[in-house]
């Protein structure tokens, strides 16, 4: 009986110690957990809330609110750097922007919306730089522009559309600058202007056309300035006006013709020193 009693007492002791240990363990965990920090508007409404490491570094989920108490932003941090999913909102509760961060830089798919919930932009990011395809939309849902990025710079054709979804402009980019062919289009798809760019400046032959596709004018550009002969035409192909440009300024005789080629006006121009 003596030994039985001793053994019972010993196991009871172990049993109690187990629960004392578990209780102590959770007390330690609770003590180690960083406290929630909150910031308030002058009105007393909570502005943002989350965990601060060492009283200064945002960590984990942080949520901010508008002064009407609707959610403004919900984002994850790691040592005060954005890391993971991030969602921002309009004051009406609609999502404004949604995506992810890695080491504080946008990463992967990002979307932005109008305040009525209509998609405004869809783009892709790598290490904080836009990459691959990017699309912008009008509030009516029709596409506004299509572009491709490489390491944050526009590359290839950028297409622009009007609110009816009709293509209106095509410009070629290389490393973020306009380079190569550019077109403006009429709503019927016909070319309005055809020209070329070099290092973001008009350079080379530029031609204008009527909506019915007849040549309207032609001139040369050099490093963003009109240079050389300019000729304008009527729809029937007859010359309407002729003249010369030098560094973007009219120079010499500018002549206007009648349908039959008769001169009806002539103006002389001199270079204006700038």
Same domain, 73 and 49: yes
Q: Is residue 185 part of a domain?
A: no
Residue 73 within any structural domain of the chain: yes
Contact 61/76 with Cβ under 8 angstroms?
A: yes
Tokens linked to 178: 């306009």
Q: Evaluate whether residue 158 is within a structural domain.
A: no
pLDDT score of 77: 98
Which H or E run includes 186? none
**Would 48 be classed as within a structural domain?**
yes
Last-in-domain residue among 64, 93, 122: 93
Contact 174, 181 (CB under 8 A): no
Predicted pLDDT at 29: 31
Does 42 share its domain with 70?
A: yes
Residue 12 has what pLDDT? 37
Question: Would you say residue 45 lies in a domain?
Answer: yes
| Final residue before a domain boundary, out of 48, 72, 93 | 93
Strand partners, 65: 71
From first to last of its 274 residues, the chain has per-residue pLDDT tens of: 333 433 334 333 433 433 333 333 333 334 345 688 999 999 999 999 999 999 899 999 999 999 999 999 999 999 999 999 999 999 999 999 999 999 999 999 999 999 999 999 999 999 999 999 999 999 999 999 999 999 999 999 999 999 999 999 999 999 999 999 999 999 999 999 999 999 999 999 999 999 999 999 999 999 999 999 999 999 999 999 999 999 999 999 999 999 999 999 999 999 887 6
What's the CA gap between 270 and 268, in Å, rounded? 7
| Last residue in a domain, options 54, 71, 93 | 93
| N- to C-terminal Cα separation, the chain | 117
My answer on whether 4 and 48 are in the same domain is no
Cα separation, 202 vs 178, in Å, equals 9
Both 29 and 42 in a single domain?
A: no
Domain count, the chain: 2
Domain of 78, in residue numbers: 35-93
How high is the pLDDT of residue 272? 80
Residue entry with tokens 């909102």: 89
10 in any annotated domain: yes
Which pLDDT score is estimated for 115? 97
230 in a domain, yes or no? no
- Please identify which residue in the block is written with the tokens 């909506």: 211
Q: Is residue 22 part of a domain?
A: yes
Is 25 in the same domain as 52?
no
Is the pTM for the entire model greater than 0.85? no
Rounded distance between C-alpha atoms, residue 126 and residue 135, angstroms: 16
């Amino acid at each position: 009986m003596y030994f039985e009693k001793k053994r019972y007492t010993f196991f009871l002791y172990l049993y109690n110690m187990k629960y004392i240990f578990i209780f102590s363990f959770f007390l330690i965990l609770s003590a180690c957990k960083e406290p929630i920090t909150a910031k308030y508007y002058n009105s007393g409404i909570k502005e943002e809330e989350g965990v601060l490491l060492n009283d200064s570094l945002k960590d984990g989920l942080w949520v901010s609110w508008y002064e009407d108490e609707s959610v403004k932003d919900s984002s994850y941090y790691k040592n005060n750097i954005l890391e993971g999913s991030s969602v921002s909102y309009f004051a009406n509760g609609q999502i404004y922007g949604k995506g992810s961060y890695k080491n504080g830089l946008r990463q992967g798919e990002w979307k932005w919306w109008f305040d009525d919930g209509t998609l405004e932009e869809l783009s892709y990011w790598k290490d904080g730089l836009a990459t691959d395809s990017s699309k912008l939309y009008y509030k009516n849902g029709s596409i506004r522009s299509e572009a491709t990025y490489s390491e944050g710079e526009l590359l290839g054709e950028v297409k622009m559309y009007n609110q009816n979804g009709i293509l209106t402009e095509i410009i070629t980019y290389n490393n973020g600058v306009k380079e190569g062919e550019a077109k403006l289009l009429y709503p019927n798809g016909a070319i309005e202007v055809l020209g070329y760019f070099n290092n973001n400046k008009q350079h080379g032959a530029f031609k204008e056309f009527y909506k019915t596709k007849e040549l309207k004018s032609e001139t040369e550009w050099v490093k963003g300035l009109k240079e050389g002969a300019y000729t304008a035409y009527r729809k029937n192909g007859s010359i309407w006006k002729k003249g010369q440009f030098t560094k973007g300024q009219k120079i010499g005789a500018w002549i206007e013709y009648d349908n039959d080629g008769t001169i009806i006006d002539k103006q002389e121009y001199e270079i204006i020193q700038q």
